[in-house]
Amino acid sequence: MPAPSKSVLTLPNVRAQAAVHRASLIVFEDPKSLALMQRIELIAPSDANALIVGETGTGKEIIARHLHDLSARTRGPFVAVNCGAFSETLVESELFGHERGAFTGATVAKPGWFETAHGGTLFLDEIGDLPLPLQVKLLRVLQERQVVRIGSRKPVEIDVRLVAATNVHLEEAVAAGRFREDLYYRLKVAAVDLPSLRERPGDILPLARHFLRIYGERLGVRNATLSPVAEQQLVTGHSWPGNIRELENVIHHALLVSKGRVIRPEDLNLASLRPRTVSPSNSNHRELEAESRFRSALLALFEEGGEQLHLRVEDLVINTAYEYCHRNQLQTARLLGISRNIVRARLVQSGQLLAIRRHAETVETN
C-alpha cells in the first residue's frame, strides 16, 4: 500500500490546556518523516525496548507516546521521566521507589516510576545522564523484570516496556566509559533515529502553518499566513539548531510583533538567530585581541579577590555565553564544549533560570 502524503499525530489527553502545542499534534510531510513513521508502525506493536536518538527539540517524547499508542499497551499508563531532572541520590528512589524510613525524609512508602508504569510504557528521557551505578541497577531490572525498593529486600514484579531517548551519541559515551555497553545494546533493540528539522525541510512549512493556527487562535489573529519571502526564509534561511521547539518560538514571536495577518521576513527575526562569524583573514588577530582583553579582565578580578572566585569566573563565562547565544541552552553548550545539563544547572545556580524540576507525569488512556 503506498505511503500517505502526510502523517498527523494526535495524542489524546496530553496537556490539553498546555501552552506548548507541539506535544499534542505534529505534522509530518517530509519523505524522511514518512519513512520514520513507517518504521515506528513496524516496531510499535512489539514489547521490545526502544531507543530514540535525536537532537533537543526534535520531538522524541512525541515519538515515544506514538509508540505507546500503537502498541497493545495503549490502555495502560504512559510515564515520562527526565533522567537529567533528578540528582544522583534522588533518581534511584524516583525510578525504583522506597520504603518508609529508608532514608531521612522517607516518611511514607512510595512506589517508583517502574511500578507506576506497570502494564504500560516507561519513557526515560536523557538516558545518557543516568549515573553509572544506576545504569547497573537499570540493567538488572530489565533482565529480571523486577524492582527492589530502597529499604526493602522484597522484589516487585513489573510488566513495563522501556522506551529511552538521548540527544548524545551513546556510542561515544560507551567508548569513554560513561555508559555501559551491555545496557546500550539492551536498550537499542528497536532503534529510532529522529532526524533534525534541517534534515527534513519538507516539515518546516507544515509545522509553521500549524503553529500559526494554534498561536493565532490564542492571540486573536485569525487566518494568519506567511508571505512567500517569509516561507523561503524559513526553509532556506536558517539551520534550526533548536529544531521544532525553535520554530514554534519563532512563529509565536512573529505573531506578537506582526502588524497584520501576513507574516513578513522582518517579523521572523531570523537574522538575530544566525551564528556570529568572522572572516578567516582577521579571525586569528581578533582571537588574540579577545584573549588579551579577557586576560586583563581576569587580572582585575584577581586583584579584587573575594570569596568563591573560581565559581564567579565560571558563572560569568557561562552566563555571558548564554546571552551571546540568545539564551539558547543547547547552543551555549555547543559553544563551550560542555553538556547542556551542566549549562542548565549552572544557570539555575546563578539565578538565570528558575529551578524548575520536570516531574514525571502519568497519562492514563482509555
Number of domains within the chain: 3
Contact 11, 22 (CB under 8 A): no
Would you say residue 129 lies in a domain? yes
Of 249, 273, 297, which residue constitutes the final position of a domain?
273
Distance CA 178, CA 171 (A): 10
pLDDT at 40: 93
Would you say residue 68 lies in a domain? yes
The CATH number linked to 320 is 1.10.10
Q: 152 and 85, same structural domain?
A: yes
Domain span holding position 241: 199-273
Would you say residue 4 lies in a domain? no
Q: 191 and 119, same structural domain?
A: yes
Q: What is the pTM of this model?
A: 0.68
pLDDT at 206: 93
Distance CA 63, CA 24 (A): 11
pLDDT at 354: 63
Q: 48 and 181, same structural domain?
A: yes
Q: 183 and 64, same structural domain?
A: yes
Contacting residues for 12 by C-beta, under 8 A, at least 6 apart = 365
pLDDT at 293: 64
Count of C-beta atoms within a 10 Å radius of residue 234: 24
Task: Provide the edge-to-edge strand list for the sheet that holds 190-193.
Answer: 190-193, 50-53, 161-166, 121-125, 77-82, 361-364
Helix %, strand %, coil % of the chain (to 5): 50, 15, 35
Q: How far is CA 140 from CA 121, 175, 304, in A?
A: 18, 21, 53
Burial class (CB in 10 A: 0-12, 13-18, 19+), 10: exposed
Distance CA 294, CA 288 (A): 10
164 alpha-carbon distance from chain centroid: 12
Contact 263, 225 (CB under 8 A): yes
pLDDT at 224: 92
301 alpha-carbon distance from chain centroid: 36
pLDDT in tens, the chain (366 residues): 444 444 444 444 333 333 333 434 557 789 999 999 999 999 999 999 999 999 988 989 999 999 999 999 999 999 999 887 777 778 888 898 888 877 777 778 888 899 999 999 999 999 998 888 899 999 999 999 999 888 888 899 999 999 999 988 888 889 888 899 999 999 999 999 999 999 999 999 999 999 999 999 999 988 899 999 999 999 988 989 889 989 999 999 999 999 889 999 999 988 655 544 434 444 455 565 566 567 667 766 776 777 778 888 888 888 888 888 878 888 888 888 888 888 888 888 888 776 444 434 444 444
Place of cell 542548565: 344
Of 195, 224, 245, which residue constitutes the final position of a domain?
195
Name the percent of the chain lying above pLDDT 90.
42
- Give residue-wise pLDDT tens across range 192-228: 999 999 999 999 999 999 999 999 999 998 889 999 9
Distance CA 182, CA 187 (A): 9
pLDDT at 169: 84
Would you say residue 180 lies in a domain? yes
Exposure class string for 178-195: b at 16+ Cβ within 10 A, else e: bbbeebbebbbebebebb
Contact 23, 62 (CB under 8 A): yes
Contact 312, 306 (CB under 8 A): yes
Q: 329 and 230, same structural domain?
A: no
One-letter amino acid of 37: M
User: By C-alpha distance, which of 194, 215, 193 is closest to 203?
Assistant: 194
Distance CA 19, CA 8 (A): 19
Q: 176 and 52, same structural domain?
A: yes
The grid coordinates of residue 314 equal 565560571
